[in-house]
Amino acid sequence: MKLILALAFIIFLVGLVIRGKSWFSGGVGSQTIDTSIIQRFSLALKSVFGTLFSSKVINALTTFLTDIVLQKRLFQKSIGRWTAHMLIFTGFLLLLVTHGLGEGVSNALFSDYYATLQPYLSLRNVFALMVLVGLGIAIYRRVSDKPKRVQSYTSDWLAIGFVGAIIITGILLESSKISSYSYYQGMVEEYGDVSDEQEALALETYWASEHGLISENVTKPYNQELVEEGRAVSENSCIECHSPTSGAFVSFSLAKVIGPLVSKGDKFLYVVHLLTCFGFLAWLPFSKMFHIVSVPVSLLINGVRGFKQPVEASEASLNRQMIGLSACTHCGSCSELCSSLMFYESFQNDFILPSEKVQLLKKVAEGETIPTDTKEHLQKGLYICTSCDRCSTICPSGINLRELFITARYSLLAEGKPETALLSHFSFPLALAQNFVDDHLKALKKVEEQFKKLFQKLSDLSKLTISRPGGLDNTSFQSCYTCQRCTNICPVVRLYDDPQETLGMLPHQIIFSLGVGKTELAAGSQMIWSCSTCYLCQEHCPNKVELTDIFYSLKNSAIKKIDTGGDK
């Protein structure tokens, strides 16, 4: 077992090096910055020492207490989620201190420490129960919140399964030791002071009666005289290092129920439990569980630098980005409050949701090859984002998601074709934040060129004919009698001295063109992209024409036509 532990620890250390290297290499948009791993690592060290020896250390200490220890951000979001996290994290950590690292840590912290003495015997069960209750809440939430979360990955369930397996095998092992005759016999031979067979039988009877031992040598009903004699022997030989096993209330109760099944499996369960623990140790740096390291680092960076930073392409922003990506626990908090959630419900594109974008951006940041169709879906999801920053504000791991998404938006734009959603200024003002202006305008020009090639303008028509409109499910335009109230009330139209020249067609003209069957003409208007979706036109239409909804449909059909090169 020592060899396996050493191997697991070596794998763990190698994983730490690999993870550390990823923090200071790669990143979304890293191709625009020519720096080495050493330079980025040096910059990080400089920032750490600069914080330690400045007034910012107070911010770091405050963040450590409020955001890391007390998990303030998570508490503000959801008391239930905070409860689950604190139960799992605190219970598991205390188990390590009072049991898992017994010889190296617990003995140093507690002078009277011994695993089978009180209060450690009972506390071990309390801490294990805390973890199991926390896992139960996490599993319930992951299943019940599935529609909002979109999906749970194998890694999510594996993390829950690993932690649960460690706790459950530990409880079963303790139950087995309580009922195991071979374990009892080994304990008596090594530590007991039994002078003859009578005392041995008495002690065995007492342990069977009071401590859950299963022995073929004694049967119920137990001889009470032997029980009392055995109690005296136990007080002389065992009490210094063994409290009553009933103190381990979970394991003791379980031993009463399944003792006959596990009493002879203590050695097997010992191996299984240790292999599970060692496997978890080796797996940790390569899994989402590494967030127990990266989340505190991410939160400390926010506490020192301030959370809202301008979007910038620099070594520091790349380091922060990579740490943030590794800190994501795929909890789904960002997706539940996403302003674009309604678009996901309409388009069923997983990458509209922040939690799903992050999972794929991890691969993009690490330089993995992404299939073209997957990348296109990601790009659409990035452009539907409104940059409202609600996801960043709510993220319990402190990830600056807005900065990540804006950087990814224009990084992917440089690699492939311009996204047709550029035609709409839906997320334009908030997303740019005075960054990437040139990139945005170049891409916008390319899309506009495609748009002009595929769609007819009103000024290009030499004559107007009437036909049946196609491609629209919403037929409320048939009620229009061209009163022009929609155009008169439109705030976008009022922005321009010559709105028809700028917008191509005015709202009432678009509806009229649909009425005479010119769907392609309506879809070619700049007006549908300039629409601010304020719904004033739709609310004030006397005939209940659903203009804004129709504009959405026209935009979707236009994007589809551009994406297919005009084939549909």
pLDDT at 14: 95
User: Which is it for the CA torsion 561, 563, 566, 568, positive or negative?
Assistant: negative
Q: Are residues 263 and 362 in the same domain?
A: no
Number of domains the chain is built from: 4
Binning pLDDT at 50, 70 and 90, where does residue 463 land?
Answer: low
pLDDT in tens, 353-385: 899 999 999 998 888 888 888 888 898 888 888
Q: Are residues 424 and 487 in the same domain?
A: no
Cis check: omega of the bond before 119, within 30 degrees of 0: yes
Binning pLDDT at 50, 70 and 90, where does residue 565 land?
Answer: low
User: Residue 178: which of 241, 125, 244, 245 has the closest Cα?
Assistant: 245
CB-based contacts of 210, cutoff 8 Å, min separation 6 = 227, 231, 244, 246
- Percent of the chain beyond pLDDT 90? 20
pLDDT at 88: 93
Contact 196, 214 (CB under 8 A): no
Contact 322, 27 (CB under 8 A): yes
Q: Give the pair of three-digit tokens for residue 395.
A: 């993220």
Q: Are residues 343 and 400 in the same domain?
A: yes
Binning pLDDT at 50, 70 and 90, where does residue 398 land?
Answer: confident
Binning pLDDT at 50, 70 and 90, where does residue 334 land?
Answer: confident
Q: Are residues 226 and 251 in the same domain?
A: no
Binning pLDDT at 50, 70 and 90, where does residue 468 land?
Answer: low
User: Residue 250: which of 96, 123, 95 has the closest Cα?
Assistant: 123
Return the top range by mean pLDDT from 18-32, 317-331, 407-421, 469-483: 317-331
Q: Are residues 410 and 427 in the same domain?
A: yes
* Interior/surface letters 420-439, b for 16+ CB within 10 angstroms, e for the rest: bbbbbebbeeebbeebbeee
pLDDT in tens, 205-233: 888 888 888 888 888 888 888 888 888 88
What CATH number is associated with residue 490? 1.10.1060.10
Q: Are residues 113 and 255 in the same domain?
A: yes
Residue 42 lies in a domain: no
Binning pLDDT at 50, 70 and 90, where does residue 129 land?
Answer: very high
3-state secondary structure of 354: helix
Range of the domain at 327: 309-452
Q: Give the pair of three-digit tokens for residue 30.
A: 């890293």
What CATH number is associated with residue 448? 1.10.1060
Would the pLDDT of 142 be above 90?
no
Which of 427, 452, 477 finishes a domain?
A: 452
Q: In the chain, how long is the greatest CA-to-CA distance?
A: 117
Would the pLDDT of 203 be above 90?
no
Q: Are residues 534 and 446 in the same domain?
A: no
Q: Are residues 168 and 147 in the same domain?
A: yes
Residue 116 lies in a domain: yes
Binning pLDDT at 50, 70 and 90, where does residue 536 land?
Answer: very high
Lowest mean pLDDT among 25-29, 178-182, 312-316, 548-552: 312-316
Q: Are residues 462 and 448 in the same domain?
A: no
* 3-state secondary structure string across 282-341: HHHHHCHHHHHHHHHHHHHHHHHHCCCCCCCCCHHHHHHHHHHHHHCCCCCHHHHCCCCH
pLDDT at 151: 65
Q: Are residues 103 and 202 in the same domain?
A: no
| Residue 367 CA: distances (Å) to CA of 25, 80, 98, 532 | 10, 37, 42, 37
Q: Taking the model in full, what pTM does it have?
A: 0.74
Q: Are residues 198 and 175 in the same domain?
A: no
Give, as one character, the DSSP assignment of residue 105. Answer: I
> Average of pLDDT values for 302-320?
75
Q: Are residues 526 and 406 in the same domain?
A: no
Residue 118 lies in a domain: yes
Residue 324 lies in a domain: yes
What is the rounded CA–CA span in Å between residue 516 and residue 476? Answer: 14
Higher per-residue confidence, 100 vs 376: 376
pLDDT at 16: 92
CB-based contacts of 24, cutoff 8 Å, min separation 6 = 37, 40, 41, 44, 319, 322
pLDDT in tens, 7-50: 999 999 999 999 989 899 888 877 667 788 898 889 889 989 88
